[in-house]
């Protein structure tokens, strides 16, 4: 049996990773400028609608803004300069004013793209009818504590059941068809410690799992049919688990303020791989998974966008917002949110938002 020398193995691994870097050709397509000149327009959430043609953004501006992706990309094609620069007022098709700063957005499945849910800094979950542009549902059971995350399940056709995670240490599971005082279930992942629940996500493939990221440095996976105890505890981060995303039914990606991403097996809670390269010590910088390409996108406190391939622990692509800062800190601009367009196999679209309200659209294609 032939065994490669360790140095030879390292060389081959480095070569394979270098090959992975060149599988995708990603480039900046469109920059949407912000009406704000300071870090007062942080984009905390970006979401594509079910058609993958409408992009919604929200943050501390107290507005949900809606952009047509074809229009943004058309501006790029017309400019002929490689990158199109448009101002927010021109690019935004319409917006909805909200009573509080927003931290999360998610389109409600089964609504035909007509209803979008949001979580805000005042602890309220609100759904908006986009045709009437008015709120149609509201829940306030988090005691005024900030809601960090909102999502909906597709399990068993129950497309209207949602969940919200909050600073109050709970994940509330609810049904907008029922009165606001009624709850499907309440989960306290960290128990009496009441550590903030920073992220909740149901299995997008329709499975019964819901994943939770907490400030107690752990991730949890629950079976929504039995919410009493977690089916799995994901332990390995050294600081707050700020995001959790399903790659598929068998794997979950987490992001922590320890500056790394981790890929986990849902079968046994094993860490498959750790990803490092971006800077994340204190802020929410976003995490999104493009399932068709097995690529992860995240922001960074050095004002850059990072893309990882699930097979390699180092980034395969990095691009900077301007100006690019080298250090994290409250006075520095950073990339605060990212979202992949899920459609496509050989072509991809990534939208990223900054702490100053700037929105950047990237397009990519698989190289021959």
Compute the chain's Rg from CA coordinates. Answer: 20
Beta bridge partners, 115, equal 129
Which H/E stretch holds residue 91?
helix 88-91
Look at the alpha carbons of 327, 330, 333, 339 in this order and tell me if their dihedral is positive or negative. positive
What parts of the chain have a pLDDT lower than 50?
1-2, 324-330
pLDDT at 118: 98
Phi, psi of 69 (to 5 degrees): -60, -45
pLDDT at 350: 98
For every residue of 176-211, DSSP letters joined together read TTS-TT--SEEE-TTGGG---EEEEEE-TTS-SEEE
pLDDT at 183: 80
pLDDT at 326: 44
CB 151 within 8 A of CB 116: no
71's tokens:
């229009």
CB 244 within 8 A of CB 262: no
pLDDT at 41: 85
pLDDT at 182: 77
pLDDT in tens, 25-83: 999 999 999 876 555 689 999 999 999 999 999 999 999 999 999 999 986 655 556 89
pLDDT in tens, 77-108: 555 568 999 999 999 999 999 999 999 999 99
Bridging pattern class, strands 54-59 and 43-48: antiparallel
pLDDT at 34: 87
Ordered structural domains, the chain, with CATH: 39-284 (2.130.10.10)
Rounded Cα–Cα distance for residues 346 and 233 (Å): 35
pLDDT at 35: 75
| Residue the block writes with tokens 């279930």 | 185
pLDDT at 190: 82
Please give the order of strands across the beta sheet that includes 295-298: 287-290, 295-298, 304-309, 317-320
pLDDT at 330: 44
């Amino acid at each position: 049996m032939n065994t490669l020398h360790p140095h030879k193995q390292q060389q081959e691994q480095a070569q394979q990773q270098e090959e992975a870097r060149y599988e995708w050709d990603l480039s900046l397509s469109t920059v949407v400028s912000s009406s704000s000149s300071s870090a007062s327009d942080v984009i905390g959430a970006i979401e594509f609608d079910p058609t993958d043609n409408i992009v919604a953004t929200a943050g501390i501006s107290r507005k949900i803004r809606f952009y047509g992706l074809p229009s943004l990309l058309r501006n790029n094609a017309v400019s002929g300069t490689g990158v199109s620069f448009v101002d927010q007022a021109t690019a935004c098709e319409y917006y909805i004013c909200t009573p509080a700063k927003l931290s999360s957005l998610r389109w409600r499945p089964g609504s035909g793209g007509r209803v979008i849910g949001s979580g805000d800094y005042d602890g309220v979950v609100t759904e908006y009818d986009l045709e009437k542009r008015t709120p149609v549902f509201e829940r306030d059971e988090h005691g005024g504590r900030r809601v960090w995350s909102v999502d909906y399940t597709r399990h068993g056709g129950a497309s209207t059941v949602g969940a919200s995670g909050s600073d109050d240490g709970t994940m509330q599971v609810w049904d907008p068809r029922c009165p606001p005082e009624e709850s499907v279930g309440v989960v306290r992942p960290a128990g009496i410690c009441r550590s903030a629940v920073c992220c909740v996500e149901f299995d997008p493939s329709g499975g019964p799992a819901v994943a939770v990221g907490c400030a107690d440095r752990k991730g949890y996976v629950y079976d929504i049919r039995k919410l009493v105890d977690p089916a799995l505890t994901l332990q390995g981060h050294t600081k707050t688990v700020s995001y959790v995303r399903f790659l598929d039914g068998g794997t979950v990606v987490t992001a922590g303020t320890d500056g790394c991403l981790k890929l986990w097996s849902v079968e046994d809670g094993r860490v498959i791989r750790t990803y490092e390269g971006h800077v994340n010590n204190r802020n929410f910088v976003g995490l999104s998974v493009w399932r068709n390409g097995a690529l992860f996108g995240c922001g960074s406190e050095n004002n850059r966008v990072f893309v990882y391939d699930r097979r390699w622990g180092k980034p395969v692509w990095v691009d900077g917002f301007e100006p690019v800062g080298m250090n994290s800190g409250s006075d520095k601009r950073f990339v605060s949110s990212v979202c992949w367009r899920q459609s496509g196999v050989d072509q991809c679209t990534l939208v990223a938002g900054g702490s100053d309200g700037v929105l950047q659209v990237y397009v990519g294609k698989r190289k021959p």
